[in-house]
Amino acid sequence: MKRLVLLGFVIAAVIAASPVKAVEPNEILEDPKLEQRARALSKDLRCVVCQNQSIDDSNASLARDLRVVVRERLQAGDTDKQIIDFVVARYGEFVLLNPRVNARTYLLWGGPALVLIFGILGLVFWFRRRGKIANDGLSPEEEKRLAELLGQTGTEGSDK
Amino acid sequence: MIPEIGQFALILALVISLIQGTLPLVGAAKNRTQWIAVARPAARGQFLFVITAFFCLMQAYVTSDFSVANVAHNSHTLKPMLYKVSGVWGNHEGSMVLWVAILAIFGLAVAEFGSALPPSLKARVLAIQGLIGFAFLAFILFTSNPFLRLDPAPLEGNGLNPILQDPGLAFHPPFLYLGYVGFSMAFSFAVAALIEGRVDPAWARWVRPWTLAAWCALTVGIALGSWWAYYELGWGGWWFWDPVENASFIPWLVGTALLHSAIVVEKRDALKSWTVLLAILAFSMSLLGTFLVRSGVLTSVHAFASDPDRGVFILLLLVFVIGGSLTLYAIRAPGLKGGGLFAPISREGALVLNNLLLTTGAAVVLLGTLYPLILDAFGGGKVSVGPPFFNTTFVPLMVPVMLAAVIGAMLSWKRGDIAAVLGRLKIAFIFALIGVGVTSFFAGTLKDVLAAFGIGIAAWLIAGSAVEIAERIALFKGPVANSMRRAAGLPRSAWGMAIAHGALGIMVAGITASSAWRVEKIQLMQPGDVVEISGYSLIFEGAKKINGPNYHGDRGIFTVTKDGRTIAALTPEKRDYPAERSQTTEAGILTMVSGDLYAVLGDKNQSNAAWTTRIYFNPLVAWIWVGAILMAGGGVVSLTDRRLRVGAPKTARQKTRPQPNPVGA
């Protein structure tokens, strides 16, 4: 079912004349701290020619270019935020796998909390209404009906 | 000739499904016995013709009949037989034929084994099944005909994407569709019950086995897909929150909620209208999943708009099925009177919490999956919703589900005593604390501390399920023989639940450990070089050329040693499939209880004859799939419970019938 990932592979294979794999040994930075930051950043950046793959996982040449760019910026001393801003300025917010909170994504980021709150409110409301029905006691007609029913089940034996 | 027979069989099945979808429905409404009686032979006929079509298509694949366009586009003479057979459903048209074939099998099962069902309910269930079949058969015949001919026929086919030529993936779609289509049974029962205006414990008892069977199949299907991604895609990831994965995960979440709420209907005659709604939603999400994957809408909204035939058809189908059933629900559900009352702290209350969180989780995954499409369709531009979104929104919702799973299983019905239950769970709590303590002892970062809580939750689930069973069989509280006797007498559904909840714990441990403590080494290696990883030494012995039936490539050989002793050899491969003009990587994997050693062979560096190699240690990763399979196993054990066996509903019905609680009365 990962056909779309596969489609990404196919596209990647077409674009890259000689396929390269995710993170090549020659890309790795010597400073392990910087390399760790590079990996963390790459995991949240989307490979723009693939289907839902991060540049860290992708073997497309475009992903490789972006990985190298991230590492160059890191070596130049940029902060994580500066690098993300730099990449977004070049490729747009589409490249962020972790979308920023702004007018376009309020509903996305607020949605889960909204659903949960509505669910809880609905439950509370439902429980309170049930409780009220249970505590209100019975109307005279209901009492009568109950007596009838009790009489009925009484003859059939209790159903426990 | 044979493809024409298949085509003709599909047309006959279409006509029969229309009859099956209409006459019994009218017959049940007007109380015409003869019209009702049409349902059974129609279901048999639909089965016969759809299965005929399915095997006609398979025949074309097995004999490589390239005059059939579908075969020519998706098969190849050199392909191994297994993949010729699985090639039938490895493409759009064929997978739709598999879909209706499974639907027809389920329809036949109701027709043949549903003798305990009231005739009108059975007729209505079969009629709804017939209508679903009609819609999908029409979809196949008008937009996705697998039997179209090519003239002249090509000498050779295009082949199947080599990455799909894999035993794990060969069986992935059938299991997934068993799950999707299995939920259609719950759906048909729900719609039939809404038409009848009656939902009672007996209804839940009929719906539960179908839902449970579908859920088990879907669990296995998703696990197979994730396992395949793990060993085939070559970087050791097993879940990507990819829309295609989410499309199968959303129905699974709703189906899991349905499984739990149906228990409340069955045991306590409560939550009826909610359970009916879940049954409708579970199948709606299955349809939505099919739509998302099949319409091309995921690649781009614009791709969908430029080739709209299939997409528009499925979209209309979705609107009709979901809209229609929800309208019926809106009209009929208010008449479904709730039965047993219960306090918030009770077994029912815990199951309600489970339902709240699971459906919220499903809604969150749905939101994250559809958001980019919706935003783009409304001109809001492109946005990506990736793993970070799901990890921060979905995972926190599942934590309380898992904590409550253990407690809820031990609460009594109607009104529970949570303090007493927590007291009885002391041992499980101690295990959870040990889990957190031991792992956070080694923790260095915040991520490690979070992972320690993941291990704690896993221990809580496993130990809690064990405590639950130990209490019920009075283990250590009397003679062992007594406990053994109690264990044998314990309902299968109790065992099933404990196994499934414990299995969830195993899975959580695997997910946590493999995500948090994965070790990776990427380097250039020449023959004789050694990589040290997590206490193992991998010696690169070099690579040699290999030739397979329809591929050629390179195979690297690593000798794995631990403490100076050789324990295994890993042989990752890089394959080239000339017919399909594409490459695959086959990881070399050594699976151990403590974790997987995972080796990938990269490219050869031309200048110094060194190979790029990627070595990973994925701690506890196999626990994920062992857990998933055990979880489905728990479902199967529960399915063998006396109560749910065929024929058992008969006695149940006699018991519940005299109660004057028909809905809407």
**Which A residues, 120 through 149, put their C-beta within 8 Å of a C-beta on chain B?**
120, 123, 127, 130, 134, 149
Per-residue pLDDT, A1: 43
Q: What is the pLDDT at residue B77?
A: 87
More confident of the two residues B39 and A59: B39
- pLDDT band of B444, cuts 50, 70, 90: low
CB A43 within 8 A of CB B283: no
Are B545 and B643 members of one domain?
Answer: no
C-alpha to C-alpha distance for B185 and B190, rounded to whole angstroms:
8
Mean pLDDT over all residues of chain A? 75
Pairing of strands B519-525, B610-619: antiparallel
- pLDDT bracket for residue B647 (50, 70, 90): very low
Please name the member of A28, A54, A130 whose beta carbon is closest to the beta carbon of B341: A130
Distance from CA of A103 to the nearest CA of B (A): 10
- The answer to the question of residue B178 being in a domain is yes
Which of A152-156, B470-474, B544-548 bottoms out in mean pLDDT, i.e. has the lowest?
A152-156
Residue B288, domain member (yes or no): yes
For residue A116, what is the nearest residue in chain B, using CA coordinates? B360
CB contact under 8 A, A112 and B363: yes
B17 pLDDT band, cuts 50/70/90, is very high
Same domain for B346 and B301: yes
Task: Give yes or no: residues B523 and B651 share one domain.
Answer: no
What pLDDT is attached to residue B308?
72
Chain B hits for A3, Cβ within 8 Å? 161, 164, 244, 293
Least confident interval from B22-31, B125-134, B294-303: B294-303
- Domain around B381: 2-152+166-394+627-656
Mean local confidence (pLDDT), B239-259: 91
Is 90 exceeded by the pLDDT of residue B621? Answer: yes
Mean pLDDT value of segment B108-114:
88
pTM recorded for the entire structure = 0.88
Tell me the chain A residues in contact with residue B363 when contact means C-beta distances shorter than 8 Å.
Answer: 111-112, 115
Q: Considering CB atoms only, which of B176, B229, B344 is closest to A127?
A: B344
pLDDT, one tens digit per residue, over A25-62 is 777 877 788 888 888 888 888 887 777 788 888 777 88
Query: Do residues B137 and B278 both lie within one domain?
Result: yes
The predicted model gives B310-317 an average pLDDT of 83
Residues B43 and B188 in one domain: yes
A-chain residue closest to B369, CA distance? A108
Query: Looking at the domain assignment, is residue B337 inside a domain?
Result: yes
> Taking the C-alpha atoms of B289, B293, B297 and B303 in order, what is their torsion angle to the nearest 10 degrees?
-170
**Residues 69-108, chain A: which have Cβ within 8 Å of B?**
92-99, 104-105, 107-108
Over residues B513-542, mean pLDDT: 89
What is d(CA B356, CA B409) in angstroms, rounded to the nearest whole number? 16
Inter-chain Cβ pairs, chain A and chain B, closer than 8 A: 154
Structure tokens at B242: 């990819």
CB contacts of A156 in chain B (<8 Å) are 658
What is the DSSP secondary-structure string of B506-560? HHHHHHHHHHHS-EEEEEEE-TT-EEEETTEEEEEEEEEEEE-SS-EEEEEEEEE
Q: Residues 44..63 of A with a Cβ closer than 8 Å to B: which?
A: 44, 46, 51-54, 57
Q: Kindly report, residue by residue over B463-486, the tens digit of the pLDDT.
A: 989 988 888 887 777 788 888 888
CATH number at residue B547: 2.60.98
> Is A2 within 8 Å of B229 when comparing Cβ atoms?
yes
User: Which residues of chain A does B397 touch, with a Cβ-Cβ cutoff of 8 Å?
Assistant: 112, 116
Note the helical H segments in A22-105. Answer: 32-43, 61-75, 80-91
The Cα–Cα gap between B447 and B455 comes to 12
Do residues B294 and B309 both lie within one domain? Answer: yes
Q: Lowest mean pLDDT: which of A37-46, A60-69, A146-155, B210-219?
A: A146-155
Which chain A residue lies closest to B228 (C-alpha atoms)? A2
Q: What was the pLDDT predicted at B242?
A: 85
Which residues 6+ apart lie within 8 Å of B8 measured at CB?
Answer: none
The answer to ipTM > 0.90 is no
Helices and strands counted in chain A (H then E) = 6, 0
pLDDT at B62 exceeding the cut of 90: yes
Taking an 8 Å cut-off on Cβ atoms, the answer to whether A21 and B352 are in contact is no
Contact A25 B522 (CB under 8 A): yes
Mutation site for A-interface testing, chosen from B228, B293, B357, B383 by largest number of A Cβ within 10 Å: B383
User: Residue B555: what are its φ and ψ, rounded to 5°?
Assistant: -125, 120
Q: Predicted confidence band at B229 (pLDDT cuts at 50, 70, 90)? A: confident
CB contact, 8 Å: A13 with chain B? yes
Instruction: Provide the pLDDT for residue B270.
Output: 82
Segments making up each domain of chain A, as ranges: 3-95, 108-156
Residues B261 and B124 in one domain: yes
pLDDT at A21 over 70: no
Q: Closest to A134 (Cβ–Cβ): which among B176, B341, B612?
A: B341
In CATH, A3-95 is 3.40.630.30: no
- To the nearest whole Å, the CA of B222 is away from the closest chain A CA by 9
A28–B240 C-beta distance less than 8 A? no
Instruction: Indicate whether B257 pLDDT > 90.
Output: yes
Which chain A residue's Cα is nearest to B169?
A1
Q: Please give the tally of structural domains in chain B.
A: 2
Please say if the pLDDT value at position B563 is more than 50. Answer: yes
- Answer whether residue B432 is part of any domain: no
B101 shares a domain with B60: yes
CB pair distance less than 8 Å for A94 and B382: yes
Q: Best mutation site among B86, B175, B244 for testing chain A: the one with the most A CBs within 10 Å?
A: B244
Residues B37/B117, Cβ–Cβ less than 8 Å: no
List of chain A residues whose C-beta atoms are within 8 Å of the C-beta of residue B293: 1, 3
**Is residue B665 predicted with pLDDT exceeding 90?**
no
Q: Is the pLDDT of residue B638 over 60?
A: yes
Both B632 and B569 in one domain: the answer is no
Amino acid, single-letter form, for residue B394: F
Tokens of B401: 């589900």
Alpha helices (runs of H) in B380-475, residue ranges in sequence order: 387-410, 418-424, 426-441, 446-472
Distance (Å) from the C-alpha of residue A133 to the closest C-alpha of chain B? Answer: 10
Res B475: pLDDT:
78
The answer on B239 and B127 residing in a single domain is yes
Does residue B92 carry a pLDDT above 90? no
The verdict on B647 and B612 lying in the same domain is no
**Residue B185 and residue B46 share a domain:** yes
pLDDT at residue A17 is higher than 50: no
SS3 A139: coil
